[in-house]
Amino acid sequence: MKFFLISDNIDTQIGLRLVGVKGVVVHEREEILDAVKKARKMKDIGVILMTEKIADEIPEIVYELRTSKSLPLLTIIPDRHGTKRPKDFITRYVKEAIGVKLE
């Protein structure tokens, strides 16, 4: 299976193209929705990659992809300026679910 990248900047696209990940660069909400639709229609896509800005633009789609029982999976990656997500963006789910902070 393959990756598919939806990026808001050219750096991410070029960098990941260097290791064999195809993708598109989009900016407007409509374009993003279009790209997601296309990516989901494509066969053989196992993981959709999104930069953080794209993911912020379409929270409802992000939620849908996260909770859907089938593929593709969704992964959000940082862009050139680093990540804006908190340091504990995975372990915080654990904290929310169990209610205990794990150190």
Catalog residues that contact other proteins under the rule CB under 8 A: 1-3, 10-11, 14-22, 44, 46-47, 49, 66-67, 69-71, 73-75, 77-80, 82-83, 87-91, 93-94, 96-98, 102
CB of 75 to other proteins, least distance (A): 4
Nearer to other proteins (CB atom), residue 30 or residue 103: 103
What order of strands is seen across the sheet that includes strand 2-7?
Answer: 23-25, 2-7, 45-51, 73-77
Q: Helix, strand or coil for residue 32?
A: helix
Question: Which amino acid is present at 21?
Answer: V
Residue 23 pairs in a beta bridge with 5
Residue 42 CB, shortest distance to other proteins, in Å, is 12
CB of 30 to other proteins, least distance (A): 26
Q: CB–CB of 29/56 below 8 Å? A: no
Could you tell me if 7 and 25 are in contact, meaning their C-beta atoms sit under 8 angstroms apart? yes
The smaller minimum CB distance to other proteins, of residues 30 and 70, is found at 70
Nearest to other proteins of 28, 70 (CB atom): 70
